[in-house]
Amino acid sequence: DIQMTQSPSSLSASVGDRVTITCRASQTINTFLNWYQQKPGKAPKLLIYGASSLQNGVPTRFSGSGSGTDFTLTISSLQPEDFATYYCQQSYSTSRITFGGGTKVEIK
């Protein structure tokens, strides 16, 4: 299995801050990396696919980068509605899809 390791597991930030979340794969996954946002009681929402492509309707303050084993999700200016948990997910191994453990973004 491809293990996905996210860091940090949680962070505190203020509105307007620049926030960076990292995701590391245990082996190369090219750019088969997706990012999701999940709010309490809701299904996850796809933000970024293919490591850096913004899903339709997602604000441009969200961006993704990376390839191979190391990836980053950046929120350029944190907004009140961005406080949530974020997950990375690899789709390189489509017969064994795996998620990162999640990063909870909380209000400082």
Partner 1 sequence: QVHLQQWGAGLLKPSETLSLTCGVYGGSLSGYYWSWIRQAPGKGLEWIGEMDHSGSTNYNPSLKSRVTISVDRSKNHFFLNLTSVTAADTAVYYCARGAAFDPWGQGTLVIVSS
Q: Which residues bind partner 1 (CB under 8 A)?
A: 1, 32, 34, 36, 42-46, 49-50, 55, 87, 89, 91, 94-102
For residues 87 and 98, the answer to whether their CB atoms sit within 8 Å is: no
d(CA 38, CA 36): 7
Which residue in 75, 35, 44, 71 sits closest to 59, CA to CA?
A: 75
Smallest gap from residue 106 Cβ to partner 1 (A): 15
Cβ at position 86, least distance to partner 1 in Å: 11
Residue number, 14 or 95, with CB nearest to partner 1: 95
Label each residue of 36-73 as H, E or C: EEECCCCCCEEEEECCCEECCCCCCCEEEEEECCEEEE
Q: Least separation, in Å, of the C-beta of 67 and partner 1?
A: 16
Look-up of token digits 């980068």: 65
Closest distance of CB 21 from partner 1, Å: 14
Closest CB to partner 1 among residues 78, 85: 85
The nearer residue to partner 1, 71 or 87, going by C-beta atoms, is: 87
